[in-house]
Amino acid sequence: MSLTYHLQVVNLLAALLLLISFAMLSQRRIVGLVTLFAWQGAALAVSTALVGWSTGQHHLYYSAALTLALKVIAMPWFFYRLVKKLDVGRDVEPMINIPTTMLIGIVLVIFAFNLALPISQMSGTVTRSTLGIAMATVLLAFLMMITRSKAIPQVIGFLAMENGLFFAATSATYGMPLVVEMGVALDVLVGVFVLGIFFFQIRETFDSLDLKHMEKLKER
Amino acid sequence: MSTGIVLQIAQTLLAILLAPLLMGWVNQCRAWLQGRSAPPLTQPYRMLRKLFHKDAVLAHDASRLFRFAPYIIFACMVLAAGIVPTIVNDLPFSPAADVIALVGIYALARVFLALAAMDIGTSFGTLGARREMLVSFLAEPALLMVFFTASLISQSTELPVIVQTLAHKEFAIYPSMAFAAVAFWMISVAENARIPVDNPTTHLELTMIHEAMILEYSARHLALIEWAVALKLFTYSALGIALFVPWGIAPRGDLGALPLALLALLVKMIVGGAALSLLEAISAKVRLFRAPEFLGTAFLLGVLGMLIHFLLEV
């Protein structure tokens, strides 16, 4: 190992990110899911700031601060309130049982690692080896969106996917330009609020947040 | 060489003698956390003495296997205690078995316990043996995955080489070992019949696994099995220490490091025992059919550790 210590810590945080993704896949309760999402944001913010510090890319500090403010504080707080208001904190059974989901998850991780290997060899950054983890996080979040039928876990899966993309950008090219990042952050924030309003509408129409009901949406 | 043999015997004896103490410490911590007044630290020793002084009762239908099983189980655990480095690394006996053979030794003890439980023919014994097999056949591959992760880092399946690589080379953070550590914790909880999978103090037929198997044993046989259980907990803790916090284990031939190594072992065991009882106090026992999910997660973490090793550490 010839990496410096802070880069080793970045690697550790990347591994933690992947671990949290798997924890989210196996989580049955919505409140636990929100907490895990906040932890994922925290790991992401710390690793972004560390990469910024160790490579001298100071605009990454702003990204880290933005992540911390939005994904660790604002959105989890909003989700907690939403869960309380909608009264949906109970257990949710995913559509595929959890051990099977985990096994599919492992296959996805192997796929992502293999996919990232040639790409990361072309990249010139010191953090390129974490690109595979970033892609695995994206795919796992996608899997979570597929296997959950309730609205809030799907939105959290979408946000976790955004986390993975953000991490991929950091590890492959030291982050996107700040203007783009601000734009994405604003988009995500607005998206979450709009979806929050949608939740109430969906529940009012169907008496439940289960999106299975929307498949039967036909005029009679 | 002769000092090596003396140290080997001393280390094995120390493990045998300290094992009930670790059990007593865990029980004491647990009693405190549950708000009960704790039994004294030496309670396991007293229980062993009491059991050794009693007359053994055997069922009419018990075969020889039933009588020999406790000795075999105890011998397996002593063997494991001789292989796992607790104070000194790379002793003369440690080349006898690598980590894979060590898993085999644990499996041998488990097979004899299960056979003895079924030998009597009571329904409880059979039930316990089946449940034990359900838990262990899931725990074993996960344990092997943890060992493989450590072996990939040190390029060897020999425990002394693993400890040597992790403890005495230049310090590096291994993300894969973080995964392996969590997996190892889950496996050792399941293998030692602790709370999320089995409750060591229960005698409720719906939930007990390990206790159901040893219900028919009495006196010296029971004492040997209880001692073997304590030794198993001790060797698993020593394994965890050797793999994940090996700093302090004395390298071969460095007699000056011995007192420090002993002190380090005691401190790690005290902290580890307290952590075990704390986690037991805050978690609830899962249903038997959730145990495969628990161990499946452990297996997954072990595999993830290996994958992460290939991605980040090669």
Domains of chain A, residue spans: 5-212
A155: left (phi over 0), alpha (psi -120 to 50) or beta: alpha
A55-89 tens-digit pLDDT: 877 888 888 888 888 888 888 898 888 888 877 76
Contacts of A113 in chain B (CB under 8 A): 307, 310-311
Contact state of B179 with A19 under an 8 Å Cβ cutoff: yes
CA A118/CA A157 separation, integer angstroms: 27
Which of chain B's residues have a Cβ under 8 Å away from the Cβ of A19?
179, 182, 301, 304
Burial class (CB in 10 A: 0-12, 13-18, 19+), A206: middle
Q: Give, to the nearest 10 degrees, the angle between helix A178-206 and helix A75-86.
A: 0
Q: At what angle do helices A178-206 and A151-173 cross, to 10 degrees?
A: 170
Residue B183, Cβ density class (10 Å: 0-12 exposed, 13-18 middle, ≥19 buried): buried
Extract the tokens encoding B252: 């071969």
Check CB contact of A8 with chain B, cutoff 8 Å: yes
Which residue in B172, B300, B307 is closest to A8 by CB distance?
Answer: B172
Q: What are phi and psi of A125, to 5 degrees?
A: -85, 160
**How far apart are the C-alpha atoms of B169 and A106, rounded to whole Å?**
32
Selecting from A12, A19, A113 the residue whose C-beta is nearest the C-beta of B311 gives: A113
Instruction: Show Cβ contacts of residue B99 under 8 Å, excluding neighbours closer than 6 positions.
Output: B147, B150, B151, B157, B158, B159, B162
Full DSSP string of A70-129: IIIIIHHHHHHHHHHHHT--SB---SS-HHHHHHHHHHHHHHHHHHHHHHHHH--STTGG
Query: What's residue A92's pLDDT?
Result: 67
Angstroms from B86 CA to nearest CA on chain A? 27
Q: In 10 A of CB A56, how many CB atoms?
A: 8
- Tell me the CA distances in angstroms from B230 to B137, B193, B221, B275, one per residue in order: 21, 11, 14, 17
CA atoms within 13 A on the CB side of A111: 11
Contact flag A15-B176 (C-beta cutoff 8 Å): yes
**What does each of the 314 residues of chain B score in pLDDT, given as a tens digit?**
688 888 888 888 988 998 999 999 998 998 898 888 888 888 889 989 999 998 888 888 888 888 889 999 999 999 998 888 888 787 778 788 888 998 999 999 999 999 998 888 888 888 889 988 998 888 999 999 999 998 888 888 888 888 888 877 777 778 888 889 999 999 998 888 888 888 877 777 777 888 888 888 888 899 999 999 999 999 999 999 888 888 877 777 777 778 888 888 889 989 989 998 898 888 888 888 888 888 888 998 899 888 888 887 76
In order of A147, B40, B43, B212, B275, the CA distances from B36 in angstroms are: 45, 12, 15, 25, 18
B304 CB within 8 Å of a chain A CB: yes
- Given this model, what pLDDT does residue A1 score? 41
- Which residues 16-75 of A are in CB contact (within 8 Å) with B? 16, 18-19, 22, 26
Mean pLDDT (10-residue bins), chain A, 220 residues = 71 89 85 90 90 82 87 88 78 75 89 85 74 90 86 86 87 78 82 81 77 67
- Does residue B167 sit in helix, strand or coil? helix
Q: Residue B250: beta bridge partners?
A: B88
Distance CA B292, CA B275 (A): 24
Contacts of B291 (CB under 8 A, 6+ apart): B134, B135, B138, B190, B197
Contact criterion met (CB < 8 Å) for B297 and A26: yes
Q: Do B175 and A14 touch (CB under 8 A)?
A: yes
For residue B109, what pLDDT is reported?
92
**Which candidate in B152, B182, B290, B312 is best for mutational testing of the A interface (most A CBs within 10 A)?**
B312
Residues of B in contact with A102 (CB under 8 A): 296-297, 300
Give the one of B297, B307, B312 whose C-beta lies nearest to A11's C-beta: B312
User: What percentage of residues in chain A have a pLDDT greater than 90?
Assistant: 13
Nearest CA in chain A to B172: A1
Could you give the 3-state DSSP secondary structure of residue A29?
Answer: strand
Nearest by CB to residue A1, choosing from B172, B179, B297, is B172
Give ipTM to 2 decimals: 0.76
Considering only CB atoms, B178 lies closest to which of A12, A106, A132, namely: A12
Report yes or no: A214 at the B interface, CB cutoff 8 Å: no
Contact B212, B205 (CB under 8 A): yes
Position B145 scores a pLDDT of 92
